[in-house]
Each structure stands twice: as C-alpha cells, then as structure tokens.
Amino acid sequence: MASQASRFLFLFLLGLLVGAIATVMAMRALQARKDPFPHSVMHVMAKQTDVLKQNIAQNRCTTSDALPRLQTLRAVGNDLEAAFPDLAEDQRFVTHASQLRATLDGALSAPPVGCPDTQATLAKVNDSCKACHDDFAH
C-alpha cells in the first residue's frame, strides 16, 4: 500500500513537472509570435519623458539635460508608423504622430532653457501622446 502511494506521488509530481515545462514552452512559443517593437517604442518614449520629469523635480533643467531626451524622443517618433503598421493608414494616427514630431521639432529648434521651459515642452509632448492614446489605447 505504501509502495502504491509513493508511486502515485512520484507520478503526480512528474506530471506536474512535465506540465510546467510544457506550459513554459507554450508560453515562449506564443511570446515569440508577438512583435516586441510596438511595446519597445512605447517603453523608450515613456522612459525618456520620465527622465525629463525627474530632471525637473531635481532642478536639472539646462539645455544639455533636456536635449538628449528630446532627440531620442524625436528619433523614436520617426518609427511610430513602422511600430504600428495596422494604424499607419489611419489618418488620426498619422495626424497624432505628425503632431508629436512637429512638437519635438519645435523643441529641438528652440531647446528649453530652465525648468519652466522644460515643463512646458514636456506638457506639449504629453498632450500629443495623450491624444493618440485616447484614440487608440485600449
């Protein structure tokens, strides 16, 4: 009787292990099918705006503090249509992406000087992002 119980326990644990391995393999296969590019673009943009917010909070608002973040945002902004090909033909999306790029172009042509300017630039960028997310984020 004890032998059967230990055999049953062994098979049960073996089944759990095989099931866990199969689940991980299935999840990896599903994950491999998803394109990470759209999420990566959004993560990079969010990180850059977060760093700008931190700079403002730390009173680090020179042009040399803001300019690299704005340049990165502008460079990533070039890839919005490529990151979201299913939205690239939607005129609302194209308009939002163009507006973001125009906002960043303006900020790069006249970089913010001081925290009030950086705050105003960040607010414009956030407004552009929010307008798109209001229309397309689920």
Task: Supply the pLDDT for residue 1.
Answer: 64
d(Cα 84, Cα 86) in Å, to the nearest integer?
Answer: 6
The answer to pTM > 0.95 is no
Residues 4 and 44 in one domain: no
The HSE-up count of residue 41 (CA atoms within 13 Å, CB side) is 17
Domain enclosing residue 25, as ranges: 1-34
Question: pLDDT tens per residue, the chain (138 residues)?
Answer: 678 888 888 989 989 999 999 999 888 887 777 889 999 999 999 999 999 999 999 999 999 999 999 999 999 999 999 999 999 999 999 999 999 999 999 999 999 999 999 999 999 999 999 999 999 976
Tell me the two tokens of residue 126. 């956030």
Residues 4 and 68 in one domain: no
Residues 19 and 70 in one domain: no
CATH code: domain of residue 43: 1.20.120.10
